[in-house]
Amino acid sequence: MELLSLLAYGDTGWGDELLRGLGVTLALAFTTAPFALLLSFLIAWGKASKNPVTRVFSNGYTTIFRSLPELLTLIIIYYQLQLVINYAIHLVLPDANISINAFAAGVLALTLVFSALGSEVVRSAHQAVGKGQAEAAAALGLTRRQSFFKIVLPQMWRHCVPAFGNLWLILLKDTALVSIIAISDLVRYANMAIATTKEPFFFYSVLAVIFIVLAFLSSLVQSHIERRTSANLQGGR
């Protein structure tokens, strides 16, 4: 089919551009994930804090980033952060100009949104494990740190993994939004191709296929991880 020739590699087709876009999409998702994961735990910890200010901040943070459309969050962070940084820098070094690259802004925005979503996952996983575990650990003489990292956290994973897997899939899809603030990801390259070839149905269908493949691969990895984290709960040593 002549349509497929549009995907050729090199100057005649858009295959290499789409591949480049795919690389950016994956880079965005893979860069965001670890930061969002870490921040999720921090925010969840903040929600359980004894300090009311920390609690209010953590809950407010979660409410805001869970309630706003991701597109809006992306745009606000992309423009506002730059202004804030410029202003702060100018107070100290009036001649300097620090520029936040679009990729970094995209990662930051996505991290903030997904850490808000992730903190809820962590919180409910922690509740699922229950106070009993932490109390037993304390009774056995373990410090709070040891009790968390050696007893509670390993049990939390079983509850976290499916939900985090879900968030990963959502993250993969949300990276498509950066195309609107001009990061050249998969969707933006597809738009470029469509502007020249006038074949929107074909290229958007190709995009759909690519995302399905990514989702499928992700679910394979997730099943593998789930099996491994649940395995040590079955049977004895």
Partner 1 sequence: MLSHITDNIDLWAEGLKNTVSLTLLGVIFGFFVALPIAAARLSKSNILSRIAYAYVYLVRGTPLLVQIFLLYYGLGQFHNELKSIGLWWFFRDAFNCGLTAFVLNSAAYQAEILRGGILAVPKGAIEAGSALGLTKLQIFRKIILPITLGRMLPAFGNEFVLLLKASALISIITVRDVMGQARFLYAQNFDLSVYYIAALNYLIIVLLIEALWRKLEGRNVWLHYAGGH
Partner 2 sequence: MKNLSGLAVILAATLATGAIAQDTVRMGTEGYYPPFNYFDAAGEVIGFDVDIGNALCAEMNVTCEWVTTDWAGIIPALNSDKFDTIIASMSITDERSEVVTFTNPYYFNGARFITVTDGGVTGALPADLEGKIIGTQESTLEVEVLQQFFPDSEMRLYPKLDDALLDLETGRLDVVYASQFVLGAWLDKEDGACCEFVGETSRSDGNQGTGIAVRQDDAELLANLNAALAAIIANGTYEEIRSKYFEFDVMTEPKTASELFQ
Q: Which residues bind partner 2 (CB under 8 A)?
A: 11-12, 17, 20, 23-24, 27-28, 30-31, 78-79, 82-83, 85-86, 95-104, 107-108, 180-182, 189, 191-192, 195-196, 198, 200
Closest to partner 1 by CB, 152 vs 206, is 206
| Residue 207 falls in which region: left (phi positive, over 0), alpha (psi -120 to 50) or beta | alpha
Q: Give the phi and the psi of residue 141 in degrees, each rounded to 5.
A: 90, 10
Instruction: Indicate the residue among 18 and 122 with the shorter CB distance to partner 2.
Output: 18
Q: How many CA atoms lie within 13 A of 39 on its CB side?
A: 20
What, of partner 2, partner 1, none, does residue 102 touch, CB below 5 to 8 Å by kind?
A: partner 2
**Residue among 121 and 214 whose Cβ is closer to partner 1:** 214
Please report, as a single letter, which amino acid is at residue 189: Y
Question: Is 10 or 196 the residue whose CB approaches partner 1 more closely?
Answer: 196
CB of 38: closest distance to partner 2 in angstroms? 13
Task: Write down how long the chain is.
Answer: 237
Where does this chain bind partner 1 (CB under 8 A)? Answer: 63-64, 66-72, 75-76, 79-80, 83, 169, 173-174, 176-177, 179-180, 187, 194, 198-201, 204-205, 207-208, 211-212, 214-216
Q: Which of 165, 215, 193, 221 is nearest to 26 (CA)?
A: 215
Cα–Cα distance list, 211 to 78, 86, 186 (Å) = 25, 37, 10
- Closest approach of partner 1 to the CB of residue 205, in Å: 7
How far, in Å, CA of 52 to CA of 177, rounded? 35
**DSSP assignment of 157-184:** HHHHHHHHHHHHHHHHHHGGGGGGGT--
- Closer CB to partner 1, residue 50 or residue 198? 198
Minimum CB distance to partner 2, residue 43 (Å): 19
